[in-house]
A and B are shown apart, each in its own frame.
Chain A
Amino acid sequence: MDYTISTIAPIVLLPFFAFVINSFIVKKLPKLAVGISCSAIFLSFLYCVRIFKDFVFGTYAANYHVHKVFTWFDLGDSFKVDMGIYIDNMGAIMLLMVSGVATLIHIFSTFYMKEDIRYGRFFVYMSLFTAAMLGLVLSDNLLSFFIFWELMGFCSYSLIGFYYEKEEAGNASIKAFMTTRVGDVFFLLGIVALWGVIGSVSFVDIYQALADGSLIGHSVIGISLTTFAAAAIFMGTIGKSAQFPLQVWLPDAMMGPTPCSALIHAATMVAAGVYLSLRMFPLMDAGGLTPYIAYIGGITAFGAATIALIQTDIKAVLAYSTISQLGYMVLGIGVGAYNAAFMHLITHAVFKACLFLSAGSVIHSLHDEETHGHVQEMPRMGGLKAKMPFTFLAMMCCTLAIAGIPFFSGFVSKDRILGDALVMASQSRVYWIPTLLGFGGALLTAFYMFRMMFLTFFGEPRDKSLYDHTHVEKLSWNRNIPLLILSVFTLGLFYCGSFTGQKIAKVPGVVDKEWFATLVEKPEVETFASYERQTWDFTDEKSAQTFNKSSYDKTHGLSEEDYHHAHTMHIIGAILSIIIAFAGVFLAYLMYIKRSLNPARWVSAFPRWNKALKNKYYFDDLYINIFIQKGLLGLNNLLAKLDMSFYDKYFVDGWQHVTRWAYTVSRKFDDWVVDTALVDGTGASVRLFNVILRTIQTGKIQFYFIVIVFVLGSYIWNLNIN
């Protein structure tokens, strides 16, 4: 299709206009607002399908991209800010995922939020959020990326604090915003650093600068510029994608409504951080930051999995599992598994959204008679398989996917990440710990996800009255259809040509359609350096850049021997993953179904660990009590005291003394100089002259005579007589 403004911009503008219109009509016509929102996102989805079709099934080239630029403002003197749209294969896939998942969540929300009095307002925020996310995926430079990033942060804040009657919801929304803010400050710092050197922050220009080597030689506070900028931008990812150490906001973000959790904190916003790192991967690579990224990813993956072991709230389990899976994505970036990390992003979005929506469905069904609220605690659930069969089916599919069971998409992507981690670990010792953490996290993931399943759906119901009051689930279009559609996409078939992704168990006929692996290639800077930017114009001009169709390169550009080595490692990793996944499932089965192992005994065996996990490794404690209470508040008090006692007292109050002194001086001046000297002095001088002059005017004739004599005498004296 023709890529012009009228064909690309509606992707973003449709939800945006839905937001604008809804914000006016939501009070009076909430149902209409909901309809506008859902239809807007659905139309966007259709556009994204069109783009996806064009990219994936049309030109099918690895370096096919569309890049249109217009100047936002130009202040001359090399301060020119360009905005633009940049779609390549990765962008197209991401667009499809975002718009598709968003559409399904909008449909589910019509069921979930129906009884809420602020039904329409939810969709206002959701529309704005989807507009921002789609804009972020389409943006071609870091500045517009940052703008949409912040916009999404604002929507997250609004949606987390949606139930604003609860004080915890307000606190949680502020916590989320502030924590991501910390990361965003560094992100902005990185943008500015890059801008200062390169002169623009467009992705293509950054890649070009990396290829030219124009970033080498600059250094910021002793660190080379690439490392500094890469680290700064990665801090943005840490903040937004809830990596260690800024992961504290995501569990509290579960105070928001469940569809919001599904969209924002599972599928899209937290994925935006990973998307940033993927786009900026050449910079991270050139800055030598990849080992640190791997470590952070590994720590996050494993740590969050450990905390998830003891959680009792169903949404909390899912929140920690989100943090853990994001850790996997970051780990994948760190070990250089660009393709696998992106695949994990997509697959995780699908199954995590489905998990959250199913959890929402479960929560919505369990209606507590006494508190008139919904129940989220797993100890009160159990045996819900009979009452909610369709939800159970969807949730089962997704749990299998996340645990890493073969044939499912989660296995494909996670296994590829772990395989690449093994490859890197076999090459250097630095990567051993992240790899170990990754495999350990996989075990724990399988365990706790199945623990959740067993506690919720299997066994005897622990709360009889609650169980009796639960309605049996009926198949409804807005409750179950989204879940089922999403769970269909958790199958591994859609992403690769084989069930296992390693071409071990091949499905005949589709083995060579490894479209995902082909399309999304790890970006080498040389290929980007040769791109041309096209200016945006408003005419319908066919402007797609086409390159030679590249066939699927089996070896990914590696030499034959390296490829064989990597392939071996991948197979080893695959086998290990399968073993670990089944081990985890089995362990959970033993604990919760067969009851041969008693979890309580394990809890009492490690009391200190238990306490640490319950307190989420004391991170909240650290941040709130130590940093903020003691550190910042102490600083605040000091500054306030400084301001009041020193600055106010001397500089502000001191002015009164100055003014008073000035008044005194001025009064003295007025008295002495003006009044006495000038005014009185004039009179006095006249009197003085009077006194002097009246001595001549004596009235005495003899005096006059003397005067005449003297004058005449002086005249005659001065005559020149020759």
Chain B
Amino acid sequence: MMTLSSYLMISFILFLAGIVVMIARKNMIAMLLGIELILNAAALNFVAYTKFVNQNMDGHIFPLFIIVVAAAEAAVGLAIVIRFYQIKETIHIDDATQLQS
């Protein structure tokens, strides 16, 4: 049951789901949700390979850093979203087309 291919399938599904969320939603925060899904898919891939292919511990280190970076990026991103909301009073992604308002 727990073969490499099943884990790869799961991470593939997560990745696709993240892409769908990123494209389909118009809410900025929802897009950030999608980003998180994608990142998680990548990390799951790493860990799966560590268990089944190569017992190199780098496969555990790197997901750690993915998580760290994702956290930082989510924080900053949300800060930007909040700032955007303070200016534009909306969080619709189609309103964020101008570089300079």
Give A residues with C-beta under 8 Å from B. Answer: 698-702, 705-706, 709
Please classify how large the interface on chain B is, using the bins under 10, 10 to 19, 20 to 34, 35 or more: 10 to 19
Name the CB-closest residue of A to B99.
A699
Residues of A within 8 A of B97 (CB): 698-700
Contacts of B86 on A, CB cut-off 8 Å? none
Cβ-defined contact, A705 with B22, below 8 A: yes
B93 touches A700 (CB 8 A): yes
A contact residues around B94 at 8 Å (CB) = 700
Task: Identify 16 residue pairs between A and B in the complex whose beta-carbon atoms are under 8 Å apart, listed by A's number.
Answer: A698-B97, A699-B96, A699-B97, A699-B98, A699-B99, A700-B93, A700-B94, A701-B93, A701-B96, A702-B23, A702-B26, A702-B31, A702-B93, A705-B22, A705-B23, A709-B19
In the complex, what's the smallest C-beta–C-beta distance from A19 to chain B, in angstroms? 107
- Inter-chain CA distance A699–B100, complex, in Å, is 11
Q: How far is the CA of A705 from the CA of B99 in the complex (A)?
A: 17
CB distance from B14 to the nearest CB of A (A): 16
Determine how close the nearest CB of chain A comes to the CB of B26; give it in whole angstroms: 8
**B-chain residues with CB within 8 Å of residue A698 when the two chains form the complex:** 97
Residues on the B chain within 8 Å of A706, using CB = 23
> With the chains together, A706 CA to B31 CA distance in Å?
13
The answer for the CA separation of A219 and B31 in the assembled complex, in Å, is 113
Residues of A within 8 A of B96 (CB): 699, 701
- Minimum C-beta distance from B85 to chain A (A): 16
A238 to chain B, nearest CB (A): 111
Name the distance in Å between A700's Cβ and chain B's nearest Cβ: 6
In the bound assembly, the distance between CA atoms of A700 and B99 in angstroms comes to 11
Q: Chain A residues near B98: list those with CB within 8 A.
A: 699
Interface residues of chain B, those whose CB is within 8 Å of chain A, are: 19, 22-23, 26, 31, 93-94, 96-99
Give the nearest-CB partner of A709 in chain B. B19
Measured CB to CB, the closest approach of chain A to B33, in angstroms, equals: 14
CB nearest neighbor in B for A706: B23
Tell me, in angstroms, the Cα distance from A702 to B92 when the chains sit together: 11
Give the distance to chain A from B30, nearest Cβ to Cβ, in Å.
11
Q: How far is the CA of A698 from the CA of B97 in the complex (A)?
A: 7
Chain B, Cβ-Cβ closest to A705: B22
Question: What are the residues of chain A within 8 A of B23 when measuring CB–CB?
Answer: 702, 705-706
Q: Give A209 to B101 CA distance when docked, in angstroms.
A: 114
**Nearest opposing residue in chain B for A703, CB measure:** B23
Most buried by A among B94, B98, B99: B94
Q: With the chains together, A706 CA to B19 CA distance in Å?
A: 9
Question: Which partner residue on chain B sits nearest A697 by CB separation?
Answer: B97
In the bound complex, what is the Cα–Cα distance between A698 and B94 (angstroms)? 9
By a CB distance below 8 angstroms, the chain B residues around A699 are 96-99
Closest to B96 in A: A701
- Complex CA gap A699/B99 in Å reads 8
Neighbouring A residues of B26 by C-beta, 8 Å? 702
Known interface pairs A702-B23, A702-B93, A709-B19; 4 further A-B residue pairs with C-beta atoms within 8 A, sorted by A's residue number: A699-B96, A700-B93, A702-B31, A705-B23
In the assembled complex, which residues on chain A have CB atoms less than 8 Å from the CB atom of B19?
709
| A700 to B97 alpha-carbon distance, docked (Å) | 5
A245 vs B70: C-alpha distance when bound (angstroms): 131
C-alpha gap A702/B94 in the complex (Å): 9
A624 to chain B, nearest CB (A): 106
Report Cα–Cα, A36/B97, bound state, in Å.
118
Residues of B within 8 A of A700 (CB): 93-94, 97
Which 6 A-B pairs have CB atoms at the shortest separation, nearest pair first?
A699-B97, A702-B23, A700-B97, A705-B22, A706-B23, A700-B94
A709: min CB distance to chain B, Å: 7
> What's the nearest-Cβ distance from chain A to residue B62, in Å?
21
Distance between Cα atoms of A706 and B34 in the complex (Å):
14
Q: How far is the CA of A701 from the CA of B93 in the complex (A)?
A: 7
* Whole-angstrom CA separation of A700 from B23 in the bound complex: 11
Distance of A45 from chain B, by nearest CB (Å): 122
Chain A residues contacting B93 (CB-CB under 8 Å) are: 700-702
In the bound complex, CA of A702 to CA of B96 (Å): 11
The interface residues of chain B lying within 8 Å CB-to-CB of A702 are 22-23, 26, 31, 93
- Measured in the bound complex, the distance between the Cα atoms of B93 and A706 in whole Å is 14
Residue of B nearest to A702 (CB): B23
CB-nearest residue of chain B to A699 = B97
Shortest Cβ gap from A554 to chain B (Å): 140
Bound-state Cα–Cα, A700 to B96, Å: 7
Residues of A within 8 A of B99 (CB): 699
CB nearest to B24 among chain A residues: A702
Q: Smallest CB–CB gap between A443 and chain B, Å?
A: 135
CB distance from A702 to the nearest CB of B (A): 5
What CA separation (Å) do A706 and B26 show in the bound complex? 14
Docked Cα-Cα span, A702 to B20, in Å, equals 11
Give Cα distance in the complex from A90 to B33, angstroms: 139
Find chain A residues with CB under 8 A from B22 CB: 702, 705
Q: Bound state CA distance, A715 and B62, in angstroms?
A: 25
Q: Which of A698, A700, A702, A705 has the most CB of B within 10 A?
A: A702
A158, B66: Cα distance in complex, Å: 128
B78 nearest CB across to chain A (Å)? 16
Distance of B101 from chain A, by nearest CB (Å): 12
Cα–Cα distance between A698 and B96 once the two chains are bound (Å): 10
A701 and B97 alpha carbons, distance in the complex (Å): 8
Q: How far is the CA of A702 from the CA of B22 in the complex (A)?
A: 7
A699–B26 Cα distance when bound, in Å, is: 14
Rounded to whole Å, the gap between the CB of A118 and the closest CB of chain B is 110
Closest beta carbon of chain B to A385's beta carbon, Å:
141
How distant is the Cα of A698 from the Cα of B99 in the complex, in angstroms?
Answer: 11
Separation of A701 and B30 alpha carbons in the complex (Å): 13
- Chain B residues lying within 8 Å of A705, measured Cβ to Cβ, are 22-23
- In Å, the complex CA distance between A320 and B98 comes to 122
Instruction: Give the complex CA separation of A705 and B31 in angstroms.
Output: 11
